[in-house]
Amino acid sequence: MDLLNALVDKGLRRELPTREEALAVLATSDDELLDVVAAAGKVRRQWFGRRVKLNYLVNLKSGLCPEDCSYCSQRLGSKAEILKYTWLKPDDASKAAAAGVAGGAKRVCLVASGRGPTDKDVERVSKTISTIKEQNEGIEVCACLGLLSEGQAGRLHEAGADAYNHNLNTSEATYGDICTTHDYSDRVSTVQQAQAAGMSACSGLIAGMGESDADLVDVVFALRELDPDSVPVNFLIPFEGTPLAKEWHLTPQRALRILAMVRFVCPDIEVRLAGGREVHLRSMQPLALHLVNSIFLGDYLTSEGQAGKDDLAMIADAGFEVEGTDTTTLPEHRRAGGCGGGDCGDAESTGSACAGKDAAPAATIPAPPEESRRDLVSVRRRGAGTELPPNA
Helices and strands: H and E segment counts in the chain: 15, 10
Contact 113, 63 (CB under 8 A): yes
Q: CA-CA distance, 163 to 122, in Å (whole number)?
A: 14
Q: Please, which residues have CB within 8 angstroms of residue 274's CB and are 6 or more apart in sequence?
A: 204, 232, 233, 234, 235, 295, 296, 300
| Cα–Cα nearest to 153, from 192, 182, 127, 181 | 192
Q: CA-CA distance, 236 to 255, in Å (whole number)?
A: 11
Binding residues for [2Fe-2S] cluster: 109, 142, 202, 272
353 conformational bin, left if phi > 0, alpha if psi -120 to 50, beta if neither = beta
Question: Which listed residue (19, 65, 266, 344) is catalytic?
Answer: 65
Question: Which listed residue (19, 107, 124, 142) is catalytic?
Answer: 142
Contact 216, 261 (CB under 8 A): yes
Q: CA-CA distance, 44 to 329, in Å (whole number)?
A: 12
Question: Which listed residue (69, 144, 339, 354) is catalytic?
Answer: 69
Residue 51: strand, helix, or coil? strand
Question: Which listed residue (14, 19, 44, 72) is catalytic?
Answer: 72
| Cα–Cα nearest to 229, from 186, 194, 183 | 194
Contact 274, 296 (CB under 8 A): yes
Question: Which listed residue (144, 179, 202, 339) is catalytic?
Answer: 202
Question: Which listed residue (44, 254, 272, 380) is catalytic?
Answer: 272
Q: CA-CA distance, 109 to 104, in Å (whole number)?
A: 14
Amino acid identity of residue 172, one-letter, is: E
Binding residues: 65, 69, 72, 109, 142, 202, 272
Q: CA-CA distance, 204 to 228, in Å (whole number)?
A: 9
**Is 179 an active-site residue?**
no
Tell me phi and psi for residue 305, to 5 degrees.
Answer: -105, -175
Binding residues for [4Fe-4S] cluster: 65, 69, 72
Amino acid identity of residue 327, one-letter, is: T
DSSP characters over 288-342: HTTT-SEEE-S--SSB--S-HHHHHHHHHHTT-EEPPTTS-SS-HHHHTTS--SG
- The b/e string for 283-309 (b: 16+ C-beta within 10 A; e otherwise) is ebbebbbbbbbbbbbbbbbbbbbbebe
**Is 202 an active-site residue?**
yes
**Is 109 an active-site residue?**
yes
**Is 69 an active-site residue?**
yes
Question: Which listed residue (109, 179, 339, 354) is catalytic?
Answer: 109
Q: Would you please indicate which residues are annotated as catalytic (active-site) residues?
A: 65, 69, 72, 109, 142, 202, 272
